[in-house]
Amino acid sequence: DVPIAKPEKMHNACAYNYPRTKEVLTNALNSANYICEALCNTKLFLRKNGKTSYTEGHHLIPFEYQDDFNYSLDVEANVVSLCPNCHKLLHYGYDKEEILKRLYEARIERLKKCNLDIDFASLLLMYR
């Protein structure tokens, strides 16, 4: 993981729309072997290609906070592979702290190498 300078904001209706790189997403999912990194043990279905399990990429440090960082949040260290249920739990669920803590602890050193230094309390506030 190499730190990438902060991207330029794209101008449209979304106040925090930054360019995302499909390659970053693909590499992150592939690196996780298309399993749910929340370790939920959900039985995953196969993607249309019939070869890999269906998981979704999720930016652990949410993209809406890009302006708070000097480096891009769209790096592999910040993208976790999640089953659809765990992904929606992080976005819309009430009881997300345990999963978020597990993901944070597994990624914090990689995030630091990309100059994305954040403590867990600050990350948790981003999910409130």
Spatial CA neighbour of 36 closest among 79, 1, 72, 80: 80
Higher pLDDT, 15 or 25: 25
Lowest-pLDDT choice from 6-10, 31-35, 55-59, 112-116: 6-10
pTM of structure: 0.86
The 3 state secondary structure assigned to 50-114 is CCCECCEEEECCCHHHHHHCCECCCCHHHEEEECHHHHHHHHHCCCCHHHHHHHHHHHHHHHHHC
3-state SS class at 55: coil
* pLDDT over 80 at 42, yes or no: yes
The percent of residues in the chain predicted with pLDDT above 90, rounded, is: 82
Q: What is the pLDDT of residue 84?
A: 97
| Amino acid identity, position 53 | S
What pLDDT digit, counting tens, does each position of 71-121 carry?
A: 999 999 999 999 999 999 999 999 999 999 999 999 999 999 999 999 999
- The owner of tokens 């499909």 is 22
